[in-house]
Structure 1
């Protein structure tokens, strides 16, 4: 299998931590014989040194010409001030660089890197996310984009965007999982000493008052439900386990996790089904039972809604990927 080429684009006032995320995650993704599955290069628009948001500059090895050979382009986040006219100076060079990409190139933005993509019209009509602190301003400045401030990342096929800071890790691991399956992504996560995925979205990180009563948190109930995914679980049962009313439990759950209890439960069932599709030869109806969907028809409906393909198509893709990497 050919090594996938990732090119990371750095703007002036780049955030160094986030700039390093793609290289750390993608270089940690290894095939069955330990071979690297990605190569990562870093570039600037002019090939020159790049200022950072900290008290040092960075020297990169490539200019924008590197983008033309990329399979995936990751635009790194930078310190953004919408009142600073100097920020506009990168937009036309960026738009010109994007025009050099091959049609099959995947484009990824981390955190505030969604801003220049939106300003260049690259996200018009698409769902996207950015750091929750910038979401309102982005909505006002770029109304043609379907901003979602409650998620860690958005996968819109050939264009993917992430929320702030560590959400870049989540998105890069998601890309590895999509490309090579859960086993490779989990291995990369272990190497980087990070969780292979996180529950919920940005809503759990938005500033709000800390609950006064830790015993009212929904974490214990989530753990209880995760151990019983093969069984029917009603909203009233979840609320009962947490010793709350359904209304109060639903409100607290959304505050802590960023989605409704029902949506969260479906996501956990789909994740379990994906793992079983990748890692076992169980028949579809058995997977449906173990994941709590009950019937193969229900499993097919939810898997297709979540990832856009049927369970059999998903299995063929990732079982084949495991045998060829």
Structure 2
């Protein structure tokens, strides 16, 4: 990645922490593959302020290792409470479903993941699956590849190679967009946090997606397009308004709830892991 892209990534990761700290229902966040240039920037330019972050785990392992660590935490005494929106519902369709009407010739059905990987979902625009809702005790991986679209589809291929389930956010099912649907990593995290608060994807999208993208709510999910979001692997795009304030948001304010969460970075390839599961109410 270019130096400017590494700076952008650091800013987005910082905003993810800040948004989660202020959310009504905080999720478990892990920053995986925490090494290389990302680690150097946090420890030098950003003056180790991340050491004061509450509710965040930074580990050198990859996103699978982070997801497994998060799973153990969520099952433990500090796992948080299962909020109402995550409770199972009778007659509900699968949390992750394949929309056959939107299927393309290259969108092959994904193989069944190994038992120890079933609780991991990699968010990707290329996925043939769409999220209907978030599930408790599930790790959602946000691929924050800062490459300005040079490696389209890379995150999806990496997930498939490792036998990880994939899915896309249902933006096309709820919104009509006036511009491309590329979202910054922190926007994806914030959308998930808003869904935990409201249980409504439409409201979550409208509250988070920048107004300059011109998104408007469809008449209803049934009347609208049922395709998922074209997130371009949730790549980071230039977000002047986010980057302007992101380093200011890297404060030492404590997260009194104490819940923890996850993101992943790699020196040349970045996967920002957002584990949004079984959160307890923020206090």
Greater relative contact order (Cα < 8 A, sep 6+): 2
User: TM-score when scaled to structure 2?
Assistant: 0.32
Pair member with larger Rg: 1
Larger helix share, 1 or 2? 1
